[in-house]
Amino acid sequence: MKKLFLISFLICFTAQIEVSAAPFVTVTAIPGKVSGIVSDGSKIFVSREDFPSILIYDGMTGTLDAEASLLLTAQFGAPTGVTALTITRDSKVLVASIPFGEIFLIENSSAISKGILPSPELSETITLITAIYSHNDGTVYFGGRSFWDTSEAHFFRMAPNGSPSGATRIKLLQDSVINSINGFGRTIAIGTRDTSTPHSGRIYLYDTITQSLTHIYTGDSEVSAVGATTDTLFFISSPSGFIRKINLSIVTNVPDTMTRSTLFGFDGKDTVLFLAADTQVLFAFKDNTIKRYGVVNSAFTQIRAMATVTAPLRHYGVARGAANSYLFYYDTFVPWVESLTFEIDTGLRQPGTSDTFFPPLTRGLYTLRIKTNEILSAVPKITLIYSNGAMQNITMNGAGRDFSGSVEIDSSRPEGNVSITFIGVDDAGNTGTAIITGQIFELKNPGRIAIAKNVIRPNFGEFMTVRYFLLNRRNVSVKVYNMRGQMVADISPGYRDPGEYEDVKWNGRNTKGELVASGMYLLRFDAGEEYRLTGKVMVIR
C-alpha cells in the first residue's frame, strides 16, 4: 500500500493556521459481516460472523498475509462464522465460532480447535459465545448462551492455556446477552443486555481473588461496552446513555448512537478511549469529554471495533457497509492534512471593497485550492461544515495533485467556526478522509453590532463600548440621545475600513464634556444598510 498523501488547503490569502485533522485510510473492502478485530502489536486479526476463517493483515502495510480457516481442524461440525475473539497475554488469538460454540486458537496462521464449552445442564448446550476476554493473568472469561434458552446468559472462566472442556461456569446471569467483558488488576467487569426489556442492561463485577460476583448497576440502556485503563474501568450505556466509572459516577454523555466497542489506545499524545458507533464517525473519550475524530468513510454504516499496532503506531478498525465490510486505520503520525492556509481571491473580492483583510471570513465568493503530494485518481469531495451542522459541498476541478473550486458563502450561513471535510482516493485505490476539527476560520456576518456594557457608573470610571464588524468601508455614525429625543453626545468614529472594531466608547458625558444625569439613554449606530442598531444605556451617578 502506498504512503499517505498529504494535503494543503488554500483560500488565496496566505495565513498559516494550526490544523487538527483525523487521518483515516480505508485499506480494503472485506466480503461478509465483520464481527471483531484484535492485534498482537504487529499483525491484525479480523473475524466475520458469516465466514469460518480469520483474516490476518500486516499492521505495517495493511496487506492480507494469510487466512486461517476453521474448517480444517473443526471437531464438532462445520463452523459458519465467528462471533467473538480476544488476544491472549502471550499474543495468541482465541476465537469463538458458530453454530456450535467451538473455540479455536490461531497460531502461525493456522486454526487449532480447543473444543467446546461444557454443558451446564444436560439439556443446555452453549452454542453461542457473545463475548470473550483474556485477562492479564492469562485466565480467559466467556459469555455464552444456549440455543434453547435465550433468556439467560452464562459466565465462564477458563484457566491459562486450558481447554473449554475444563472451563467453569461462574454464574448464570438473568440477562439475555453478555455484550462485553474487560478488566484490570483483580477486577473483571461484565456488561449485559436484556432483550426482554428494551435497552435494559446491567453491570457485574467479578473479583478474581475472592471469586465473588457482584451486581452493581441496572439501567434503562444496555451496557454495550466496557473499557479499562491501567487504574480505571469505564462502561458505556447505549443507545442514549453515558460513560460511567465503575463507582457509577457519570463522566459524560455518549453521542446518540449505539456504541459497539471501546479501545484504550495511545493517539500520539494522550491515552484515549475510542468509541466505535453506528455511524461513519469515529468518536473518542478524552479529557472526560467526547471528541469527534472525524468521518472515516461515507460508505460505512456501522463501525464495529478497533485494535492497535505499535510499529508504526496505528489504530485499525473494522466497519460494516451496505454490501461489504471494511478495514481502515487512523494513523497517528502521518496526517492527511499537512497545512491549511486562507487567502481572499484577488479576482473574487468581497462585495463593495477592493481592500483585503485577514479572516474572519464573511459573505462572498471564495476560491479553494488543494495540492496533494500523491496523485489522486479523481477529484476529491470537499464539504464545509457550519456551526449549526449544515453542510455545503464544493465542486472541485483539476487532476493529479492540483484541484480548485469556488464557494459562495451567503447570508443564510450562521456565524461561528467552520470546518472542512476531505474525501479522496489516491492512484493506489486507497480512500482517505480528513476532518479539520480545529478553528479553521470564523464566519462573521456583516451587521454584527453589540453594546458591550449598557449600564455604566461614570463616577467610577466606567464607560460603554460598541463592538462592530464591517464587510466594506463605511462611514460610521454613533450618537446618544435622551428619552426626549435630544442628542446629548456624538461619538462617531467616521470612516472605517473592513474589519472588526471596538473603538466606540461613551463615558457618560455630553458634547460639552459634562456628566449627564442619571437615567436611560438611547444609542443609535448607523453605518448604512445592514449596519443599524438602536440600544439602551443606563447611566447611574
Nearest to 464 by CA among 538, 356, 369: 538
pLDDT of residue 257: 61
Digit-coded pLDDT (tens) for 519-528: 999 888 888 8
Q: Residue 411 pLDDT > 50, yes or no?
A: yes
Average confidence (pLDDT) over 437-441: 48
Judge residue 383's burial from the number of C-beta atoms within 10 Å of its C-beta, 0-12 exposed, 13-18 middle, 19 or more buried.
middle
Q: Is the pLDDT of residue 108 over 90?
A: no
Nearest to 228 by CA among 269, 192, 181, 275: 181
Instruction: Give dist(CA 361, CA 190) in Å, integer.
Output: 51
SS3 460: helix
Same domain, yes or no, for 490 and 423? no
Task: Clarify whether residues 493 and 436 are in a common domain.
Answer: no
Residue 484 pLDDT exceeds 80: yes
Which pLDDT score is estimated for 126?
Answer: 67
Collect all residues with Cβ–Cβ distance below 8 Å to 90 and sequence separation of at least 6: 138
In a domain, 137, yes or no: no
Residue 513 domain-assigned? Answer: yes
Residue 388 vs residues 118, 256, 377, 412, 478: alpha-carbon distances, Å: 55, 17, 32, 11, 32
Pair 270, 281: CB distance under 8 Å: no
Q: Work out the average pLDDT over 152-170.
A: 86
CATH of the domain at 501: 2.60.40.4070
Co-location of 428 and 517 in the same domain:
no
Per the document, the length of the chain is 541
Does residue 347 fall inside a structural domain?
A: yes
Measured at the CA of 271, the angle between CA 207 and CA 54, to 5 degrees, comes to 70
Does residue 521 sit in the same domain as residue 455?
yes
Question: Within this chain, do residues 384 and 360 fall inside the same structural domain, yes or no?
Answer: yes
Q: Given pLDDT bands bounded at 50, 70 and 90, which one contains residue 265?
A: low
Q: What is the pLDDT of residues 217-244, one digit of tens each?
A: 888 778 888 877 666 777 877 776 778 8
For residue 348, being part of any structural domain is answered with yes
Give the CATH number of the domain where residue 396 resides.
2.60.40
Query: Does some domain include residue 8?
Result: no
Mean pLDDT of all residues in 412-419: 75
Structure confidence at residue 263 (pLDDT): 59
Evaluate the omega torsion of the peptide bond into residue 164 and state whether it is cis, within 30 degrees of 0. no
d(CA 331, CA 18): 18
Both 522 and 454 in a single domain? yes
Does residue 520 share a domain with residue 468?
A: yes
pLDDT for position 74: 87
Using CB atoms within 10 Å of the CB of residue 524, give its burial: 0 to 12 exposed, 13 to 18 middle, 19+ buried: middle
Q: Check whether residue 412 and residue 466 sit in a common domain.
A: no
Q: How far apart are CA 363 and CA 529, in angstroms?
A: 15
Domain boundary among 409, 442, 475: 442
- Asked if residue 403 and residue 471 are part of one domain, the reply reads no
Does 239 sit behind a cis peptide bond, omega within 30 degrees of 0 on the bond before it?
yes
> Where is the domain boundary, 424, 442, 460?
442
Note the pLDDT of residue 506. Answer: 93
- With a cut of 50, say whether residue 144 has pLDDT above it: yes
* Positive/negative CA dihedral, 300, 287, 236, 229: positive
Q: Which domain holds residue 353?
A: 337-442
Q: Is the Cβ–Cβ distance between 333 and 292 less than 8 Å?
A: no
Lowest mean pLDDT among 173-177, 217-221, 391-395, 508-512: 173-177
**Domain count for the chain:** 2
pTM of the model: 0.62
Average pLDDT, the chain: 77
**pLDDT value, residue 287:** 72
Q: Does 405 fall in a domain?
A: yes
Torsion of CA 208, 212, 216, 217, to 10 degrees: 80
Q: What does each C-alpha distance from 406 to 256, 299, 346, 366, 378 come to in angstroms?
A: 34, 26, 13, 6, 18
Confidence of residue 139 (pLDDT cuts 50, 70, 90): very high
455 shares a domain with 393: no
Is residue 64 very low, low, confident or very high in pLDDT (cuts 50, 70, 90)?
A: very high
Q: Edge-to-edge, what's the strand order for the sheet holding 153-158?
A: 126-134, 140-146, 153-158, 168-173
3-state DSSP helix/strand/coil % of the chain, to nearest 5: 0, 60, 40
Domain edge (last residue) among 442, 469, 494 = 442
Is the residue at 210 inside a domain?
no
Confidence of residue 357 (pLDDT cuts 50, 70, 90): very low
Indicate the pLDDT class of residue 495, thresholds 50, 70 and 90.
very high
Q: Lowest mean pLDDT: which of 154-163, 316-325, 439-448?
A: 439-448
DSSP labels, 194-260:
BTTSTTBEEEEEEETTTTEEEEEEEESSEEEEEEE-SS-EEEEEESS-EEEETT--EEEEPPSS-EE
Residues 419 and 503 in one domain: no
Query: Based on the domain organization, do 354 and 373 belong to the same domain?
Result: yes
Q: What is the pLDDT of residue 260?
A: 61
Residue 424 lies in a domain: yes
Three-class SS of residue 24?
strand
